[in-house]
Amino acid sequence: MQCYNTSGGFLHTPIEEVKENATKSLEQGIKGIKIKVGQPNVREDIKRVEAVRQHIGDDTPLMIDANQQWDRATALRFGRAMEEFNLVWIEEPLDAYDFEGHAQLANALDTPIASEEMLASVGEHLELIRHKSVDIIQPDAPRIGGITKFLQLTTLSDQAGLALAPHFAMEIHLHLAATYPQEPWVEHFDWLDPLFNEALEIKDGRMYLPDRPGLGFTLSEKMRGWTIGTQEFGKR
């Protein structure tokens, strides 16, 4: 699956470091770059996007994520300013539960709208689908109830003609995204790498499914050293 990196473009990161991180990600074989926006001064956000676009070139997929920072008017003005940068999507421009606002924005802009990593059930996502709030749906399997609920939701998402880009946890979402009829995006974070003995294969812009049993990971000794408690269930 095609993959993009998020962890190098947070708001607290100076722009020169964001650009360096983008270069490193692309050199690792990651296809796209996502950066955070949503600063109090919208002009600073625009400068930030422009700097990264110039750095990575016009052909590299670029996404932005506002983490629910804007009201409807700000999101619309900013979205119009973003049209020239050919973004893959604008993520979470509004409060996650503002289904109508997202729908108005998606209808007004050429740039696709992605959202809803924060929703906690299939039912909440159905409201998103019913309102036609987004072009790209971003469910989080652990947050909405696990693998079965995720697959229920993606069936409905496909019927609605939505693209898929699951949130975080690439170790599980890579497998689930592989079941989607159209090629999804998988979000790359290296935060969980110390927990596992194995690493995912990434090359030529894509993340590859492992052929190991299950999800393809075993827990590392470092993770075991960090464990502060255990609990067993199901025993009598």
Which sequence positions are flagged as catalytic?
36, 167
Q: Please name which of 209, 137, 208, 210 lies closest in space to residue 167, comparing C-alpha atoms.
A: 137
The alpha helices in 2-60, defined as continuous H runs, are 15-27, 42-56
Angle of CA points 198, 202, 206, to nearest 5°: 140
Q: H-helix or E-strand containing 157? A: helix 147-159
Distance CA 53, CA 35 (A): 11
Backbone angles phi, psi at 96, to 5 degrees: -60, -25
Integer angstrom CA distances of residue 160 from 87, 129, 138: 22, 7, 14
Q: CA angle 198-202-205, nearest 5°?
A: 165
